[in-house]
Amino acid sequence: MEDNAVLKTIMHRRAIRRFEPRQPEEEVLRKILEAGLYAPSAGGRQGVIFAVSQNAEVNLRLGRIKRASSSPSMATATRYVSREQPSIADDPNIRDAFYGAPVVITLFAPRNFLFAAEDCAVAAENMMLAADSLGLGSCYIGQGWTAFADPYGQEILTRWGISPGYYAVMQLLLGYPRAGDAHPAPRERRAGRVLRF
C-alpha cells in the first residue's frame, strides 16, 4: 500500500455524483479554493475566476438548464460511465446535471485566451485532490457554458458580475458523499498507453 499521502489521494479520488445535502464547513471549502488558486497557470497569468454557488435554487436551475442543453450518448449494457455513481449519460431520469451537489463552482476564463481550458482543468484537479484529502467528494463537469444557455443563465452571469470577456469552461461539484454509499472502485487502466523509448 502506497504511503505517500499525495499519491494515496490521487489513487483514492473518484467522481462522486451522490451527495449529502449539507454544506461543507467554511474552513474546508476555503482550503479547497486555496488549492485551486495555487494551481499552475499558463504564463503565470492566474486568469481563472472561481464562482462559488451554495444557493440550492440557483444550482438546481442551472443544473436543469445544463441537462436540457446536453445530449450525451446514453449508456448501453457494455458502455457506461458509472454504475455506482450514475451520470446523466447513464440515467435519463436524472434531470439535474449537477446531481444536487451543495456546492457548484463554475470556473471562468478569458474567451480569447489559448490556454483557458487547460488553466481551469489543472485548477480543478488541484481542488478535486484537496477535496478528497479532506473527506469531500467532487465531480468535474465539462462544457460549463451550457449551464447558462438560456435567459435565466444569462441573468445569473449578470448577477455574478461575470465580464462578457469570460466564459464558463467547466463546473466543479463538491459535497460530502452520500452516507452509506461505498466509495467507487477505479476501473482497470487501459493497457498500452505509456510509450517508453
Ligand X SMILES: Cc1cc2nc3c(=O)[nH]c(=O)nc-3n(C[C@H](O)[C@H](O)[C@H](O)COP(=O)(O)O)c2cc1C
- Output the CA angle 80-170-40, nearest 5 degrees: 115
User: Which of 14, 18, 61, 67: binder of ligand X (CB under 6 A)?
Assistant: 14
Closest CB to ligand X among 81 and 134? 81
Residues 21-80 close enough to bind ligand X by CB under 6 A = none
**DSSP-derived 3-state class of residue 21:** coil
| Distance (Å) of CA 113 to CA 38, 48, 94, 116, 154 | 19, 11, 34, 5, 21
Closest CB to ligand X among 98 and 113? 98
Closest CB to ligand X among 14 and 18? 14
Nearest residue to ligand X on Cβ basis: 142
The burial class, CB within 10 Å (0-12 / 13-18 / 19+), for 89 is middle
17 binds ligand X (CB under 6 A): yes
User: Which of 73, 186, 192, 197: binder of ligand X (CB under 6 A)?
Assistant: 186
Task: Tell which residue, 112, 118, 119, 135, has the closest CA to residue 29.
Answer: 135
Whole-number minimum distance, CB 131 to ligand X, in Å?
12
Whole-number minimum distance, CB 153 to ligand X, in Å?
16
15 binds ligand X (CB under 6 A): yes
d(CA 65, CA 171): 13
CB atoms within 10 A of CB 78: 5
d(CA 89, CA 104): 19
Closest CB to ligand X among 30 and 40? 40
Residues 92-111 close enough to bind ligand X by CB under 6 A = none
Q: Which stretch binds ligand X (CB under 6 A): 4-12, 26-34, 40-48, 135-143?
A: 135-143
- φ, ψ of residue 141 to 5 degrees: the values are -120, 115
142 binds ligand X (CB under 6 A): yes
Q: Which stretch binds ligand X (CB under 6 A): 14-22, 41-49, 53-61, 151-159?
A: 14-22
140 binds ligand X (CB under 6 A): yes
What does the H/E/C string look like for 121-161?
HHHHHHHHHHHHHCCCEEEEECCHHHHHCCHHHHHHHHHHC
Residues at the site binding ligand X, with contacts judged by CB under 6 A: 14-15, 17, 81-82, 87, 139-142, 184, 186
